[in-house]
Amino acid sequence: MILIKQKPDIASSEITPQNVYLNRRKFMQTTAALAIGGSVPFMTLANRQAYAMGTKFENLIKSPYSATDAELTSYEDVTSYNNFYEFGTDKRSPAKEAHRLTTRPWSLSVSGECEAPKDWDIEDILKQFPAEERIYRHRCVEAWSMVVPWVGFSLGDFLKFHKPTSKAKYIEMLTLVRPEEMIGQKPGLFGSVLNWPYREGLRIDEAMNPLAIFAIGLYGEHMPNQNGAPIRLVVPWKYGFKGVKSIVSVRFTEEQPFNTWQEQAPHEYGFYANVNPNVDHPRWSQASERVVGKLFGRVPTLMFNGYADQVASLYSGMDLSVNF
């Protein structure tokens, strides 16, 4: 996201309302299925992917934590303008390449400083932790923003289930490593873009804040692969890079974990990554943001991305220009 020159903004003509987009997608899926005439291996794969890409959740309730004043970013923008370096560094690559990712079966291990470690199958996570719709502002460190109706459940509830010990001061989360399905993980001419797996961490009290969720879908559907299927982190008061995708491991730790972008460029990206209009990135201002999908949509950035009432107390007494 940082190493590579930014692509020009999206033309408004490219933005399609969700119903048109979904119908087009359904048409393409049906056509593809008819064209191959029921070849068994292909259909099995297609069905497996279709589970994650397009299946609706039943009876979702809207969370009181939703930012109801904000206009939603279109489904097409949310699912076609992505950062997911495992599928390439271009914003358009994840939507093109992530269909290769097999998201069933999917295991997630919880380990480290807890009394009840567990190796989960994703289906059991979905049964154990009922999800709701959470509309959140989503602010990337590159100074663009969206508003996304996530489907998710409280990260705090998930963590408490595993009974963290008093030594659990942080959590570390890892993304899957599977270069045969994630083309961005294959080393190129100049080596690997990042040091895989993609890693992120939170202080335990941040992770327990009611705003932090594990998201398993968006727009009422199971998570599209390019957005981090089948399960990813969403912490709306932090820059988007904290939102680690396609998680396979959660570990309770005593020491503060290193995160991928901090390791990559420690003078530019810190551990906390709280959205803060008063602390600029060394190479650009963070005072305002471009609203994706709006032609003239530049708006001022809000402290903690507008969630100060809920999270500012987590950082009282800390110098946020040092702990950026």
Question: Contact residues for ligand MTE (CB under 6 A)?
Answer: 1, 82-86, 140, 175, 198, 227, 240-241, 243-246
Q: How far is the CB of 92 from ligand MTE (least distance, A)?
A: 11
Give Rg (Cα) of the chain.
19
Cβ count within 10 A of residue 44: 10
> Measured at CB, which residue is nearest to ligand MTE?
240
For residues 134 and 152, is the Cβ–Cβ distance under 8 A? Answer: yes
Is residue 177 within 8 A of residue 196, CB to CB? The reply is yes
Of 164 and 242, which CB lies nearer to ligand MTE in the complex structure?
A: 242
Report residue 193 as tokens: 């873009």
Q: Which is nearer to ligand MTE, 86 or 132 (CB)?
A: 86
Minimum CB–partner distance for residue 183 and ligand MTE (Å) = 13
Bridge partner list, 135 = 149
Distances 12 to 60, 84, 162, 319 between C-alpha atoms, Å: 30, 23, 46, 40
Nearer to ligand MTE, 82 or 103 (CB): 82
Nearer to ligand MTE, 32 or 177 (CB): 177
Min CB(294)–ligand MTE separation in Å: 16
User: Least distance from C-beta 66 to ligand MTE, angstroms?
Assistant: 17
Q: What is the number of other CB atoms lying within 10 angstroms of the CB of residue 188?
A: 10
CA distance readout (Å), 298 to 53, 96, 146: 31, 28, 12
Residue closer to ligand MTE by CB (options 211, 244) is: 244
